[in-house]
Structure 1
């Protein structure tokens, strides 16, 4: 992320993945505020994009991430037609799970979230190991720490 983008949206910290987005009416409540569920859908889009760009896939024959828990902090409202920046990064990882952090920015942080994701074998539902190449990417690109 370059300095101009960081300044434009008031972004703090380092983020591995980012994407500009314009808030659509379908993402708002009757007061033209971003609906609480829309934040989660936008963060899910970032999680899916992160997984695919890291070399993962989504099919019955390969492992994929499942959200085990999610914590959201709604700090300030976003509004219809706001231009925002969505961010994602891996904070930490273990053998079969990782923690993602997300942010929505417009003149500073509007909303943040942390998701504990567990990698599962979609054919059996059993936990699956995070591939070594993906673990390296989490550490090197995202700055994530290995736990346990």
Structure 2
């Protein structure tokens, strides 16, 4: 992320993945506030892009990321038409799981943050994260556990 984007959204910390987004009406409730489930969908979009960026794919035979737990902190309401920055980073990685952190930023700073344990599976069974993917996560700043 460049310095101008970091300053425009008051981003704190290192985030290797960032994507701008304008809040759509379909993501809002009757009061034009972002619905709590829309945050999760936006973070899911980042998770999918992250996995594909590591060379992963999706399908019945592919290994893929599945949310094991997700904790969300809603700090400020976001609303229809807001321009936000969505960020994602991997905090730590294990043999078959990793911890992802997500954030939504606006011109006035952090709006929402989330932390999830993501389990890698093939169908219903846990699977090892391929070495190349694990190494890429570590290279981006994840702590190996």
TM bin (shorter chain): over 0.9
CA RMSD of aligned residues (A): 0.6
Partner of 2:135: 136
Partner of 1:110: 111
Q: Alignment partner of 1:77: what SS?
A: coil
- The CA deviation at 1:69 is 0.3
Q: Alignment partner of 1:5: what SS?
A: helix
How many matched pairs?
A: 144
- The gaps in structure 2 that reach 5 residues or longer are none
- The CA deviation at 1:59 is 1.1
Candidates 138, 143, 146, aligned match of 2:144: 146
- The CA deviation at 1:103 is 0.3
- The CA deviation at 1:72 is 0.1
Q: Deviations over 1:59-86 (max 9, x none)?
A: 1111101100000000001010000000
Provide TM-score, normalisation by structure 2: 0.97
Partner of 1:39: 39
Partner of 2:75: 75
Work out the CA distance in 1 between the residues paired with 2:118 and 2:73. 18
Provide TM-score, normalisation by structure 1: 0.96
Partner of 2:58: 58
Q: Alignment partner of 2:41: what SS?
A: helix
Work out the CA distance in 1 between the residues paired with 2:110 and 2:129. 30
- The CA deviation at 1:5 is 0.2
Runs of 4+ in 1 over 6 A off after TM superposition: none
